[in-house]
Structure 1
Amino acid sequence: MLHPLSPAEVAERLRRGAVLIDVREADEVARERIPAATHMPLSRLDTARIDGGQVIFTCRTGGRTGANAARLAGCVPGQAYVLDGGLEAWKAAGMDVAKDSKAPIEIMRQVQMTAGGLILLGAALGLTVHPGFWGLSAFVGAGLFVAGATGFCGMARLMAVMPWNRPARA
C-alpha cells in the first residue's frame, strides 16, 4: 500500500533524503517534471527493486500510481509513499517544475488530437462533400475502440516514429 503525502510533505522529505520516483513515460517526463524526481517508467518497473530510505512515487495526477499501488509498493522493501495528486498537485502548491516547451507533447495527447481531428474532418466532409467520408470517422472510431479493448494503439506507434518525436542527434 502507498501512503499519500501532500506536496509540502514530499518537499520536506526530499530535503531529508527521500527518493522521488516519477513513473510516467519518457515522452511525458521530457516536457515537464519535478526536478528532484528520478525517472523510472511504470512500464519497466516489473522487476525493479528500489532500495533506499523513503521512496515516494508520483505520476501526473495520481491516477496511475493509485491504480498500480500494490505493484509499486512491491518494488520497495519498506514503506512506500505517493505524492497525492501527482505533478498537478505539486504545481498547484507552487512548487518548482522543470519545463521544456520545445519537447513534443505526449504521444497519447497527439493521438487524441489527431483522432479527434480526423473524426471531425470525416464528419464535415460527409456533410458537405460526399456521405462516403463518414467512413473516415467510422474507421478512426473503430481504431479507438480496438485500442481501448486491446491496449494496442497503432496510431500511437505511428506517432512515436514521426520526425518531431525523434530525439535530436548530436
Structure 2
Amino acid sequence: MTSPATLTAGQVHARPEDFTVVDVRTPGEYASGHLPGAVNVPLDRIGASLPELRRAAEDKVLLLVCASGARSENAARTLAAHGVTAIGLAGGTRSWAAAGHGLDHPADGRRSVWAMERQVRLTAGALVLLGLLLALLVHPAFQLLSAAVGAGLAFSALTDTCGMALVLGRLPFNRRR
C-alpha cells in the first residue's frame, strides 16, 4: 500500500489559504498548540465526521495534521477508503514548529495536556516499574505485567499503531469538554 501524499511545512506555510486544516490529535494535544485555523477531529472520530470532511474536501485541499505524521497518514488512508482525498503535513506539528511557524492555542485558556507520545512513555514506564516492584515484593508472576508492556510496545512499533494511546485518548483530560 502506498503512503498518502504529504507536503512540507514550508509548502503549506507559503499558501495557507489553499487548505482546510484538520488536526487528528486528541483534544488535549490540540489544546497544547495547533496550526492556525485548524479544526480538531480526533483520529477515532474520522469515520463519524465523514460527511463534514467530504464537504470540506470539495472546497479546498484537505490537510491532515498530527504530532509527527503517523496518525494523519492513518486518517488519510481511512478517508481514501471512503473516496475522500486528503494529504498530510510531513513531520506534523513538530516540523511546523521546527520551521519557525507559530502554533495557535484555544482562546478558552484550557491548560495544555502532555503530548500523547509523552503520556504513553510515562504510562508504559510506570507499568514496567510497577510490574518489577510487584514481582520483587509480592509474587514473581507480576513480571508478566512488564513483559506484556514490552510486547505491546514492540507490536506498536512494528504496526505503527498504539493501543495504549487509544486508551489514554479516552481519558477525560484528553477529551473535549
* TM-score normalised by the chain length of structure 1: 0.68
State the Cα deviation string for residues 43-99 of structure 1 (Å, max 9, x = none). 11223323322221111111122234332345675x533211111110110100135
Q: Please give the alpha-carbon distance, in whole angstroms, between the structure 1 residues aligned to 2:60 and 2:121.
A: 39
Q: 2:31 touches 2:112 (CA, 8 Å); kept in 1? A: yes
The alignment's TM-score, normalised by the length of structure 2, stands at 0.66
| Correspondences of 1:114-125 after superposition (within 5 Å) | 114-124=123-133
Of residues 110, 118, 128, the one that matches 1:109 is: 118
Matched positions, count: 161
Unaligned runs of 5+ in 2: 157-161
Contact residue 131 and residue 146 of structure 2 kept, 8 A: no
Q: Identity of counterpart residues, as a percentage?
A: 27
Counterpart contact for 1:120–1:137, Cα < 8 Å: no
Match of 2:112, SS state, is: coil
Amino acid of the structure 2 residue aligned with 1:37? A
- Match for 1:8: what amino acid? G
- Which residue of structure 1 aligns with residue 30 of structure 2? 29
CA shift, 1:10, in A, is 0.6
Structure whose residues are more often helix by fraction: 2
RCO comparison, higher one (Cα < 8 Å, 6+): 2
- Once the two structures are superposed, the pairs formed by residues 64-143 of structure 1 within 5 Å of their partners are 64-73=71-80, 80-98=86-104, 102-106=111-115, 109-124=118-133, 126=135, 130=137, 132=139, 134-142=140-148
Where structure 1 has 5 or more consecutive residues not aligned to the other structure, the ranges are none
Structure with the greater alpha carbon radius of gyration: 1
Change (3 A) 1:141 1:58: same
Q: SS at the partner of 2:5?
A: strand
Q: Deviations over 1:85-142 (max 9, x none)?
A: 1111101101001357932324563343133124224435655xx462x444423543
Cα contact 2:26–2:169 (8 A) shared by 1 = no
